Amino acid sequence: MKTTPLQEAIIISIAALPVAYLAFAYSGLPETIPVHFNASGQADRMGSKNELVFITLLLSLPMYFLFKYLPKLDPKKQLERMGNKFYIMRLVLTVFISAIGVGIIYATVNYDESSAMEPQWIFILVGLLYIVLGNFMPALKPNYFMGIRTPWTLENDVVWRKTHRLGAYAFMGSGILIALSAMLFSMEITFYVTMGTTFAMVALVMIYSYILFKQETT
Protein backbone atom coordinates (compact mmCIF):
# COMPACT_ATOMS: atom_id res chain seq x y z
CA MET A 1 0.00 0.00 0.00
CA LYS A 2 1.10 3.56 -0.62
CA THR A 3 1.36 6.00 2.23
CA THR A 4 1.35 9.77 2.15
CA PRO A 5 4.43 11.81 3.14
CA LEU A 6 2.55 12.91 6.26
CA GLN A 7 1.85 9.32 7.30
CA GLU A 8 5.50 8.38 6.87
CA ALA A 9 6.61 11.51 8.73
CA ILE A 10 4.43 10.53 11.70
CA ILE A 11 5.91 7.03 11.87
CA ILE A 12 9.49 8.29 11.41
CA SER A 13 9.00 10.88 14.17
CA ILE A 14 7.69 8.26 16.59
CA ALA A 15 10.45 5.80 15.67
CA ALA A 16 13.08 8.52 16.27
CA LEU A 17 11.90 9.37 19.80
CA PRO A 18 14.18 6.86 21.60
CA VAL A 19 17.17 8.04 19.55
CA ALA A 20 16.43 11.67 20.38
CA TYR A 21 15.93 10.89 24.07
CA LEU A 22 19.19 8.92 24.24
CA ALA A 23 21.10 11.72 22.50
CA PHE A 24 19.75 14.13 25.13
CA ALA A 25 20.57 11.89 28.11
CA TYR A 26 23.77 10.21 26.88
CA SER A 27 26.31 12.63 28.34
CA GLY A 28 24.80 12.25 31.82
CA LEU A 29 24.98 8.45 31.85
CA PRO A 30 27.78 6.67 33.74
CA GLU A 31 30.23 4.67 31.65
CA THR A 32 28.90 1.40 33.12
CA ILE A 33 25.16 0.82 33.15
CA PRO A 34 22.78 -2.13 33.73
CA VAL A 35 22.04 -3.83 30.41
CA HIS A 36 20.02 -6.83 31.55
CA PHE A 37 17.56 -7.58 34.36
CA ASN A 38 16.27 -10.86 35.74
CA ALA A 39 12.63 -11.78 36.37
CA SER A 40 12.81 -10.16 39.83
CA GLY A 41 13.88 -6.80 38.43
CA GLN A 42 17.49 -7.07 39.65
CA ALA A 43 20.29 -6.04 37.29
CA ASP A 44 22.23 -9.22 36.48
CA ARG A 45 24.63 -7.82 33.88
CA MET A 46 26.43 -4.51 33.59
CA GLY A 47 27.96 -3.13 30.42
CA SER A 48 29.13 -0.06 28.56
CA LYS A 49 26.67 2.71 27.88
CA ASN A 50 27.57 2.28 24.22
CA GLU A 51 25.52 -0.93 24.33
CA LEU A 52 22.46 1.22 24.98
CA VAL A 53 23.17 3.08 21.74
CA PHE A 54 23.27 -0.22 19.86
CA ILE A 55 20.05 -1.45 21.48
CA THR A 56 18.24 1.81 20.75
CA LEU A 57 19.26 1.88 17.10
CA LEU A 58 18.41 -1.80 16.74
CA LEU A 59 14.92 -1.15 18.05
CA SER A 60 14.22 1.89 15.92
CA LEU A 61 15.81 1.67 12.48
CA PRO A 62 15.49 -2.00 11.38
CA MET A 63 11.85 -2.19 12.47
CA TYR A 64 10.95 0.92 10.49
CA PHE A 65 12.50 -0.36 7.27
CA LEU A 66 11.17 -3.89 7.82
CA PHE A 67 7.53 -2.81 8.02
CA LYS A 68 7.99 -0.11 5.40
CA TYR A 69 9.12 -2.54 2.70
CA LEU A 70 7.54 -5.79 3.89
CA PRO A 71 4.56 -5.49 1.48
CA LYS A 72 7.00 -5.29 -1.47
CA LEU A 73 8.48 -8.65 -0.45
CA ASP A 74 5.10 -10.36 -0.30
CA PRO A 75 4.86 -12.36 -3.58
CA LYS A 76 1.07 -12.51 -3.42
CA LYS A 77 0.67 -8.83 -2.41
CA GLN A 78 -1.74 -9.82 0.33
CA LEU A 79 -0.47 -7.22 2.79
CA GLU A 80 -1.26 -4.48 0.30
CA ARG A 81 -4.85 -5.69 0.24
CA MET A 82 -5.17 -4.69 3.89
CA GLY A 83 -4.99 -1.05 2.78
CA ASN A 84 -5.05 1.47 5.62
CA LYS A 85 -5.26 -1.28 8.24
CA PHE A 86 -1.67 -2.26 7.52
CA TYR A 87 -0.56 1.35 8.07
CA ILE A 88 -2.44 1.46 11.38
CA MET A 89 -0.74 -1.79 12.40
CA ARG A 90 2.65 -0.26 11.49
CA LEU A 91 1.79 2.78 13.57
CA VAL A 92 0.75 0.69 16.58
CA LEU A 93 3.91 -1.43 16.42
CA THR A 94 6.08 1.67 16.05
CA VAL A 95 4.45 3.29 19.09
CA PHE A 96 4.98 0.10 21.09
CA ILE A 97 8.64 -0.30 20.10
CA SER A 98 9.41 3.37 20.71
CA ALA A 99 7.68 3.28 24.09
CA ILE A 100 9.82 0.30 25.07
CA GLY A 101 12.95 2.13 23.88
CA VAL A 102 12.11 5.32 25.78
CA GLY A 103 11.24 3.28 28.87
CA ILE A 104 14.52 1.39 28.79
CA ILE A 105 16.48 4.64 28.53
CA TYR A 106 14.44 6.22 31.33
CA ALA A 107 14.99 3.21 33.60
CA THR A 108 18.72 3.32 32.87
CA VAL A 109 18.98 7.04 33.54
CA ASN A 110 17.14 6.64 36.86
CA TYR A 111 18.68 3.31 37.88
CA ASP A 112 19.18 2.82 41.62
CA GLU A 113 21.32 -0.21 42.48
CA SER A 114 19.91 -0.33 46.00
CA SER A 115 16.46 -1.40 44.83
CA ALA A 116 15.00 -3.73 42.21
CA MET A 117 13.50 -2.25 39.10
CA GLU A 118 9.74 -2.80 38.80
CA PRO A 119 8.95 -2.00 35.17
CA GLN A 120 5.33 -3.14 35.30
CA TRP A 121 4.65 -0.70 32.50
CA ILE A 122 6.48 -3.02 30.09
CA PHE A 123 4.01 -5.81 30.74
CA ILE A 124 1.07 -3.44 30.58
CA LEU A 125 2.33 -2.37 27.15
CA VAL A 126 2.71 -6.00 26.10
CA GLY A 127 -0.84 -6.71 27.24
CA LEU A 128 -2.19 -3.73 25.33
CA LEU A 129 -0.21 -4.76 22.25
CA TYR A 130 -1.72 -8.25 22.38
CA ILE A 131 -5.20 -6.74 22.64
CA VAL A 132 -4.63 -4.42 19.67
CA LEU A 133 -3.04 -7.14 17.54
CA GLY A 134 -5.98 -9.40 18.37
CA ASN A 135 -8.29 -6.81 16.84
CA PHE A 136 -6.24 -6.89 13.62
CA MET A 137 -6.14 -10.69 13.34
CA PRO A 138 -9.35 -11.12 11.29
CA ALA A 139 -8.14 -8.50 8.77
CA LEU A 140 -4.90 -10.33 7.97
CA LYS A 141 -4.86 -12.00 4.56
CA PRO A 142 -2.84 -15.21 3.99
CA ASN A 143 0.81 -14.19 3.68
CA TYR A 144 4.30 -15.43 4.55
CA PHE A 145 5.33 -12.64 6.92
CA MET A 146 2.63 -11.71 9.44
CA GLY A 147 -0.02 -13.57 11.37
CA ILE A 148 -0.37 -17.18 12.50
CA ARG A 149 1.78 -18.86 9.86
CA THR A 150 1.56 -22.58 10.47
CA PRO A 151 1.97 -25.14 7.67
CA TRP A 152 -1.79 -25.64 7.79
CA THR A 153 -2.94 -22.00 7.71
CA LEU A 154 -0.62 -21.29 4.77
CA GLU A 155 -1.97 -24.29 2.90
CA ASN A 156 -5.69 -23.54 3.23
CA ASP A 157 -7.49 -20.17 3.16
CA VAL A 158 -10.40 -21.45 5.28
CA VAL A 159 -7.99 -22.71 7.94
CA TRP A 160 -6.19 -19.35 7.87
CA ARG A 161 -9.41 -17.40 8.32
CA LYS A 162 -10.84 -19.54 11.12
CA THR A 163 -7.52 -19.84 12.95
CA HIS A 164 -7.10 -16.07 12.93
CA ARG A 165 -10.62 -15.65 14.22
CA LEU A 166 -9.71 -17.86 17.19
CA GLY A 167 -6.33 -16.17 17.43
CA ALA A 168 -8.04 -12.81 17.80
CA TYR A 169 -9.82 -13.96 20.96
CA ALA A 170 -6.68 -15.71 22.23
CA PHE A 171 -4.53 -12.61 21.78
CA MET A 172 -7.08 -10.30 23.38
CA GLY A 173 -7.69 -12.67 26.30
CA SER A 174 -3.95 -13.09 26.88
CA GLY A 175 -3.45 -9.33 26.71
CA ILE A 176 -6.12 -8.71 29.33
CA LEU A 177 -4.60 -11.32 31.67
CA ILE A 178 -1.09 -9.90 31.25
CA ALA A 179 -2.17 -6.29 31.80
CA LEU A 180 -4.24 -7.19 34.88
CA SER A 181 -1.37 -9.24 36.30
CA ALA A 182 0.99 -6.29 35.83
CA MET A 183 -1.37 -4.03 37.74
CA LEU A 184 -2.12 -6.47 40.56
CA PHE A 185 0.99 -8.60 41.12
CA SER A 186 4.77 -8.42 41.30
CA MET A 187 7.03 -8.32 38.27
CA GLU A 188 8.14 -11.92 38.82
CA ILE A 189 4.57 -13.24 38.86
CA THR A 190 3.68 -11.11 35.84
CA PHE A 191 6.71 -12.45 33.97
CA TYR A 192 5.54 -16.02 34.44
CA VAL A 193 1.94 -15.10 33.61
CA THR A 194 3.19 -13.53 30.37
CA MET A 195 5.30 -16.55 29.46
CA GLY A 196 2.55 -19.01 30.41
CA THR A 197 -0.28 -17.28 28.55
CA THR A 198 1.91 -16.75 25.48
CA PHE A 199 2.93 -20.42 25.39
CA ALA A 200 -0.68 -21.53 25.90
CA MET A 201 -1.86 -19.20 23.13
CA VAL A 202 0.74 -20.49 20.66
CA ALA A 203 -0.06 -24.11 21.51
CA LEU A 204 -3.80 -23.47 21.16
CA VAL A 205 -3.64 -21.95 17.66
CA MET A 206 -1.12 -24.54 16.46
CA ILE A 207 -3.27 -27.46 17.58
CA TYR A 208 -6.48 -25.82 16.36
CA SER A 209 -5.07 -25.09 12.89
CA TYR A 210 -3.85 -28.69 12.57
CA ILE A 211 -7.19 -30.19 13.60
CA LEU A 212 -9.08 -27.79 11.34
CA PHE A 213 -6.82 -28.60 8.38
CA LYS A 214 -7.46 -32.32 8.87
CA GLN A 215 -11.21 -31.65 8.91
CA GLU A 216 -11.07 -29.49 5.79
CA THR A 217 -8.99 -31.96 3.77
CA THR A 218 -10.78 -35.22 4.64
Q: SS3 for 206?
A: helix
Same domain, 93 and 159: no
Same domain, 99 and 8: yes
| Rounded CA separation 133/85 (Å) | 11
Q: What is the pLDDT of residue 40?
A: 62
| Rounded CA separation 111/79 (Å) | 41
| End-to-end Cα distance, the chain | 37
Considering only CA atoms, which of 126, 139, 74 is closest in space to residue 99?
126
Q: What is the pLDDT of residue 70?
A: 84
| Rounded CA separation 96/23 (Å) | 20
Same domain, 154 and 73: no
Instruction: For strands 43-48 and 32-37, give the pairing.
Output: antiparallel
Q: What is the pLDDT of residue 118?
A: 66
Q: Which of 117, 149, 172 is the last residue of a domain?
A: 117
Q: What is the pLDDT of residue 80?
A: 78
Residue type, 158: V
Q: Which of 117, 138, 155 is the last residue of a domain?
A: 117
| Rounded CA separation 30/149 (Å) | 44
Per-residue model confidence as pLDDT tens digits over 137-192: 999 989 888 899 999 999 999 999 999 999 999 999 999 999 999 999 988 899 89
Residue 11, CA atoms < 13 Å, CB-side half-sphere: 22
Q: What is the pLDDT of residue 84?
A: 85
Q: What is the pLDDT of residue 67?
A: 85
- The greatest distance separating any two alpha carbons of the chain, rounded to the nearest whole angstrom, comes to 65
Q: What is the pLDDT of residue 33?
A: 82
Same domain, 6 and 109: yes
Q: SS3 for 194?
A: helix
Q: What is the pLDDT of residue 181?
A: 96
Q: Other C-beta atoms within 10 Å of 125: how many?
A: 20
| Rounded CA separation 133/148 (Å) | 12
Find the domain containing 154 and state its range. 119-218
Q: What is the pLDDT of residue 115?
A: 59
Residue 90 DSSP one-character state:
H
What is the model's pTM? 0.83
Q: What is the pLDDT of residue 28?
A: 86
pLDDT in tens, the chain (218 residues): 678 889 999 999 999 999 999 999 998 888 888 777 666 667 777 788 888 888 888 887 888 888 888 888 877 788 878 878 888 989 999 999 999 989 888 888 887 765 556 678 889 999 999 999 999 999 998 988 889 999 999 999 999 999 999 999 999 999 999 999 999 998 889 989 999 999 999 999 999 999 999 999 88
Number of independent structural domains in the chain: 2
CB 40 within 8 A of CB 29: no
| Rounded CA separation 52/56 (Å) | 6
| Rounded CA separation 32/179 (Å) | 32
Same domain, 138 and 105: no
